[in-house]
Amino acid sequence: MNSIQNNKIPQATAKRLPLYYRFIMNLHASGKQRVSSKELSDAVKVDSATIRRDFSYFGALGKKGYGYNVNYLLSFFRQTLNQDEVVKVCLIGVGNLGTAFLHYNFMKNNNSSIEMAFDIDESKVGKDVGGVPVYHLDDLEDKIQDEFEVAILTVPAQAAQQITDRLVKTGVKGILNFTPARINVPEEIRIHHIDLAVELQSLIYFLKNYPLK
């Protein structure tokens, strides 16, 4: 296998990796041995020139009339995405959104698992939601110190920064922020913001102003 280092893959390509991985897993499960860039393109809705360029970073060179070897791609993706190691995730804020995530969890087609949740509402603390124990936020440091790599924030916006500061001290490296708050983190911490209200508004704006034909 090509020994490309993850950090050599451009970020835009890296972002598409999980998408490719999911599709290749399905192909593998259905017993397919090879796939063309056209088939991939139709399935994942990425143009085939981009796919060919992305895959060249993976050391996967498609052959004309043959396509890509599914087994090769699968083992490449497994290795690159560290599929053999489960990333422990904690969730803060067991409201409507947090509860939905706990029920959904991510284990189905992912290598991450929400293992603990935290809240300040005494009526939620001590419960099990979707098989995940809910602890009081006061116990955050005790429970997760040096054990959790990723945290999901589904608390009210005004609580987000203070909780983030505590999470960072426990060794969390990545935060998926579902609150509308724009949070400050030290530069070694990666934070991804997902503001569902903004996404919806933006979709509606585009529908109105940039109709597709």
Please, which residue, 43 or 185, has the CB nearer to ligand ATP? 185
Residue 149 in tokens:
């790599």
- Closest to ligand ATP by CB, 35 vs 102, is 102
Residue 106: HSE in the Cβ half-sphere, 13 Å Cα cutoff: 19
Residue 131 sits in the site that holds ligand ATP (CB under 6 A): no
From the list 19-27, 39-47, 83-91, 120-128, the region that binds ligand ATP by CB under 6 A is 120-128
104, 132, 107, 106: which is closest to 119 by C-alpha? 132
Residue 133 · residue 144 · CB < 8 Å: no
The only residue of 47, 85, 121, 147 in contact with ligand ATP, by rule CB under 6 A: 121
Q: Identify the residue among 87, 120, 185, 189 touching ligand ATP (CB under 6 A).
A: 120
The string of DSSP letters for 84-109 reads TSPEEEEEE--SHHHHHHHHH-SGGG
Query: Which member of 17, 27, 89, 92 binds ligand ATP (CB under 6 A)?
Result: 92
From 170, 204, 166, 196, select the one nearest 183 (Cα to Cα): 166
Binding footprint of ligand ATP on the chain (CB under 6 A): 92-98, 118-121, 124, 137, 154-156, 159, 163
